[in-house]
Amino acid sequence: MGRLSQRRKVRKFVLESEHPVRDKEDVLAVEEPLEIRLGNLSYSVTMRTPGDDFDLVAGFLVSEGVVWEAGQIVAERFCGGEDAEGRQTFNVVQAQLRPDVVMPETGRNVYTSSSCGICGTDSIESVRRSGHHSPADDGVRLLPELVAGLPARLREAQALFEKTGGVHAAGLFRVDDGGTSAELLCLREDVGRHNAVDKVVGWALRSELLPLRGTVLQVSGRASFELVQKAAMAGIPALAAVSAPSSLAVELAEEAGVTLVGFSRGTGFNVYAGHERLLA
């Protein structure tokens, strides 16, 4: 997997065993900064697992409301970014936007960590932006057994997690008309849960699939406000998480018309918003 993971020597302690201390190699998920440039504007820096960086940048720009269709990004390229030995780090991506796209006046005022997708915005209200793809009128219907089975399907496809145990995942599923089966369209992994979602949304944008009608976004971890916001901006009608949502995530899901599922762990789940999409 190249730069996605790296090996490190560790000292392992196993108490009450025949060999309580031993040295071994462990595999870690890589975390590195990525600077996102819009033309000559340094727009943001995020901590991420390298890989699918063009998808990450495209999805991030959808989440920010800068773009909403594939043709608005003319080109993406790696630029600058060298280590102490002069080797290309591939940690700077420059996106060239179509001339009619309104450029942000300034960049984000702080970097985005791998645990926070909206740090640096002026206020919560600035994130409650009107998207170009509303999921509210999406007529997708979901069989409860289908929703309950998505976490296992997500876990089965997590190759990097299998090696490291240290990354989040987001999987995009296309639901059939009857709501009884779903096809995995795209899965992305990253140390940041919001990055994993941005990579999925960016893949969809670059594949000219937005808005993502008739889909479910299954994520590992909790359902935070920024994940609901990213789903809504991409027109995703349903977001399911294996852990709990936050109160603000539920509030935004209700406002945006997103079905929000939490504690989805194979045998059941809670629906916090949009329960009418579930087939009783």
Per DSSP, the three-state class of 152 is: helix
Q: Where are the beta strands (DSSP E) in 106-264?
A: 168-175, 182-190, 215-219, 238-241, 259-262
CB atoms under 10 Å from CB of 134, counted, come to 16
CA separation for the pair 137, 147 (Å, rounded): 20
Task: With CA atoms as reference, report the closest residue to 139 among 271, 270, 251, 259.
Answer: 259
CA separation for the pair 253, 249 (Å, rounded): 6
User: Is 116 designated active site?
Assistant: yes
CB 107 within 8 A of CB 245: no
Task: Using alpha carbons only, give the angle 178, 182, 185 rounded to the nearest 5 degrees.
Answer: 140
Marked catalytic residue, from 79, 116, 119, 186: 116
Q: What are the residue numbers of the active site?
A: 116
